[in-house]
Chain A
Amino acid sequence: MQFDSFSSFIAMGGYGMYVWSSMLVTFIGLGALAIEAKWVRRTLKREAQAQQARAQRIQRAKRASTQ
């Protein structure tokens, strides 16, 4: 362990601002890509559900009209 206390770990020998902002931007960048991928997947799932519901509605309507 290079640092003897948590505050010295945060301070990074006076360079804390630089080191931690780099880490922050890096992980926000990678995280944003992952979250965006999740969001797209969710909208696609909703689309699939809407299509399934629509197909079922059409089938019901067809059955009702033939009776």
Chain B
Amino acid sequence: MWRWLHPYAKPEATYRLNQKLLPWFAVPGILLLVIGMVWALLFAPADYQQGESYRIIFVHVPAAFWSMGFYMGMAIAALSAVVWQIRTAEWAILAIAPIGAVLTFISLFTGAVWGKPMWGTWWEWDARLTAQLILFFLYLGVLALYAAFEDERTGAKAAGILTLIGTVNIPIIHYSVYWWNTLHQQSTISKAITRLEKPSMAPEMLWPLVVCIFAFMLVASALVLLRLNNEILKREVRRPWAQAELLEEKH
């Protein structure tokens, strides 16, 4: 059943597959991103309560959504790296981690900027914001652990184990943070905002949001493919196939 996957443990095969897949992610990704942003910024109606400020949602939600999604992708790569010792999977961890960290940062920044006009404060210890901040720390931990090792193979393996430990912990952290937030409900503003978001979105707002979520997935995946191929070439730069691949490029 898994035999078809086996060749992709070979770096060259993975590289070729990634090169083939790249345009299928990058082109529709950028296209959808442009469509989604134009739709979101120009055509979606203003929110009757939040006015135009709610348009931040069209970058905030996709970034937050995929910051978690890409952690799960990183966890799958880490599992393959730790259990089956697949080297390409180790490099995939390193390819995904910075992208996940940037997505988490984007969601935190846009969340804070959205909070200022809505809640009157840049930072609210809202459960979702807090959980996101902890996710950011987890990403930073993985990157820092990898960077601390001189031997990059050891570093990648250690980062993989840490990723898996984080995966076990994420549900516990989420649950505890939400629980903690309901325990300390002094802030009425934060309650107001969660109540405000409860009613389902109007379709003319929901559709551009769906487009943006898809676009972020495609663009971020294209970035993962680019970075993964760079990681592969970094290790294989002395091999003939990698030399040929790098030298035949035009620009």
Q: Do chains A and B touch in the complex (CB under 8 A)?
A: yes
Q: Is the interface of A mostly helix, strand, loop or mixed?
A: helix
- Chain B 64-75, CB-CB to A under 8 Å as 1, else 0, gives 000000000000
Residues of B within 8 A of A (CB): 37, 41-46, 51-53, 55-56, 59-60, 63, 98-99, 102-103, 105-106, 109-110, 113-114, 116-117, 219-220, 223, 226-227, 230, 233-234, 237-238, 242-243, 246-247, 249
Rounded to whole angstroms, the CA-CA distance of A34 and B189 in the bound complex is: 38
DSSP majority for the B interface? Answer: helix
Contacting pair B109 A25 (CB below 8 A): yes
Tell me the complex Cα distance, A14–B118, Å.
Answer: 13
Contact (A22, B113) CB under 8 Å given A1-B42, A45-B247, A47-B237: yes
Minimum Cβ distance to chain A for residue B43 (Å): 6
B237 contacts which chain A residues (CB < 8 A)? 44, 47-48, 51
Contact of A44 among B51, B55, B116, B234 (CB under 8 A): B234
Confirm or deny: A58 has a beta carbon within 8 angstroms of a beta carbon on chain B: no
Task: Offer 30 A-B interface pairs, CB within 8 angstroms, sorted by A.
Answer: A2-B42, A9-B41, A9-B42, A12-B52, A12-B55, A13-B46, A13-B53, A14-B52, A15-B51, A15-B117, A19-B52, A22-B109, A22-B114, A25-B106, A25-B110, A26-B106, A29-B105, A30-B102, A30-B220, A33-B99, A33-B223, A37-B226, A37-B227, A41-B233, A45-B246, A45-B247, A49-B246, A51-B238, A51-B243, A52-B243
